[in-house]
């Protein structure tokens, strides 16, 4: 059996998060894999890289600097993503040519259980269905419980989508031969230029347009978001035992100072503690609001609700001091 191939795309702002994600994957699997990384500044990740390469479940890891700088990527101001989210468009420039299937993972994903059996099954099904990619459906045109018909039509019409399903691209299983044979990179760049003013969800919009009505739906457990699947049956224990990839999509990240208070952030913070001597990974995204949030927690003594209150306070202060926002 050939090794599975994973792709991450990120910059120095996501170095720690990506390392936590990769480490969570490697500790849960039972066979060797290849990992490809497209990075804005690989030198900033070198210490993490040197740690990953020693892992017994790594067959090979390749990190490449993103050098195709002549593209004007849209809608990044005040976003919770960077231009690195667009790097996978150019995957064929950085990934070995003999790869048949490629599994892309966002850097804000935590692996909770061994996903490889289901990924092998997904790849086999993708091969049999002759679809270019597999992804998890996130929105349906006719799902009028979550939006009105007018809202749905407006959302799909902005990209001239003909299909009824819009997928989340945080986990994307790619038939990489079809990707290359169909000149997907060229198509995505063309879509980027044509729909630049209508793009809301960055490269995910481009991918949905490129694979409009032409993707295989995959298991929710391979790209699970608690915010999307708002159901009382999805308890903390259920997620921990049954979900393979937990995706912290959206603005509320489990390392953000204001969101660490929520129990679900423990999925990330527990993984962080395995690769760090610190108790919390804290990022103050918005300096002023984060400062007032911390003061409020001190005044009402809610800071003592944290598992490690002193460490949380120290991490928060350091993040506030070093934050540029």
Mean pLDDT on 124-129 = 96
Q: Which residue reads 């952030």 in tokens?
A: 265
- At 250 the pLDDT is 83
DSSP per residue over 30-83, as a string? SS-EEEEEEES-GGGGHHHHHHHTT-TTEEEEEEEE---------S-TT-SS-G
Q: Residue 75 has what pLDDT?
A: 58
Q: How many CB atoms lie within 10 A of CB 233?
A: 6
Of 240, 235, 3, the C-alpha closest to 100 is: 3
Q: Each residue of 148-177: pLDDT tens digit?
A: 888 888 889 999 999 999 999 999 999 999
Query: Cα dist. 156→105, 159, 165 in Å?
Result: 25, 6, 9
| Domain 4-222: top CATH class | alpha beta
Q: How far apart are CA 226 and CA 209, in angstroms?
A: 25
pLDDT score, position 179: 97
pLDDT in tens, 113-122: 999 999 999 9
Rounded Cα–Cα distance for residues 276 and 309 (Å): 17
Looking at the DSSP bridge assignments, the partners of residue 167 are 137
CB atoms within 10 A of CB 258: 18
Which band of pLDDT confidence, cut at 50, 70 and 90, is reported for residue 324? Answer: confident
% of the chain exceeding 70 in pLDDT: 95
Q: For residue 228, is pLDDT > 80?
A: no
Label residue 102 by pLDDT band (50, 70, 90): very high
Interaxial angle between packed helices 202-210 and 184-194, expressed in degrees from 0 to 180 and rounded to the nearest 10: 120
Q: What is the pLDDT of residues 261-273, one digit of tens each?
A: 999 999 999 999 9
Indicate the pairing of strand 109-111 with strand 58-65. unpaired
Please, what is the average pLDDT of the chain? Answer: 93
Report residue 77's pLDDT band, with 50, 70 and 90 as the boundaries.
Answer: low
Residue 74 above 90 pLDDT?
no
pTM: 0.95
Report residue 58's pLDDT band, with 50, 70 and 90 as the boundaries.
very high
- Exposed/middle/buried for 192, CB within 10 Å: 0-12, 13-18, 19+? buried
Whether the per-residue pLDDT at 277 is higher than 70: the answer is yes
pLDDT band at 79 (very low <50, low <70, confident <90, very high): low
Crossing angle of helices 287-299 and 309-322, rounded to 10°: 150
Rounded distance, CA 264 to CA 236, Å?
7
Domain assignments of the chain as residue spans, ordered by start: 4-222, 251-322
pLDDT of residue 78: 56
Pair of tokens at residue 229: 């699947």
Mean pLDDT check: name the lowest of 53-57, 73-77, 275-279, 307-311. Answer: 73-77
10-45, pLDDT tens digit by residue? 999 999 999 999 999 999 999 999 999 999 999 999
Tally of CA atoms within 13 A in the half-sphere of 157 that contains its CB: 6
């Amino acid at each position: 059996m050939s090794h599975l191939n994973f792709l991450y795309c990120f910059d120095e702002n996501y170095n720690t998060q990506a390392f936590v994600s990769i480490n969570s994957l490697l500790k849960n699997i039972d066979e060797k894999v290849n990992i490809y990384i497209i990075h804005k500044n690989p030198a900033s990740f070198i210490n993490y890289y040197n740690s990953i390469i020693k892992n017994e479940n790594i067959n090979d890891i390749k990190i490449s600097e993103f050098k195709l700088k002549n593209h004007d990527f849209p809608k990044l101001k005040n976003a919770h993503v960077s231009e690195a989210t667009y790097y996978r468009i150019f995957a064929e420039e950085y990934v070995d040519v003999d790869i048949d299937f490629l599994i892309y993972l966002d850097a804000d994903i935590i692996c909770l259980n061994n996903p490889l059996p289901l990924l092998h099954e997904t790849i086999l099904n993708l091969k049999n269905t002759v679809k270019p990619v597999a992804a998890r459906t996130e929105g349906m045109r006719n799902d009028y419980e979550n939006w009105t018909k007018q809202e749905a039509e407006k959302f799909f019409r902005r990209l001239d989508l003909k299909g009824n399903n819009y997928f989340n691209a945080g986990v994307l299983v790619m038939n990489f031969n079809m990707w290359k044979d169909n000149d997907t990179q060229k198509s995505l760049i063309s879509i980027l230029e044509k729909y630049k003013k209508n793009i809301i969800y960055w490269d995910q919009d481009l991918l949905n347009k490129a694979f409009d009505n032409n993707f295989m739906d995959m298991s929710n457990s391979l790209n699970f978001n608690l915010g999307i699947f708002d159901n009382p049956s999805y308890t903390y224990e259920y997620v921990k035992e049954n979900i393979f990839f937990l995706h912290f999509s959206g603005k509320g990240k489990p390392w953000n100072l204001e969101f660490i208070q929520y129990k679900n952030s423990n999925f990330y913070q527990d993984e962080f503690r395995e690769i760090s001597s610190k108790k919390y990974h804290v990022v103050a995204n918005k300096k002023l609001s984060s400062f007032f949030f911390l003061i409020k927690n001190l005044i009402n003594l809610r800071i003592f609700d944290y598992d490690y209150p002193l460490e949380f306070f120290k991490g928060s202060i350091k993040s506030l001091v070093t934050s540029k926002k």
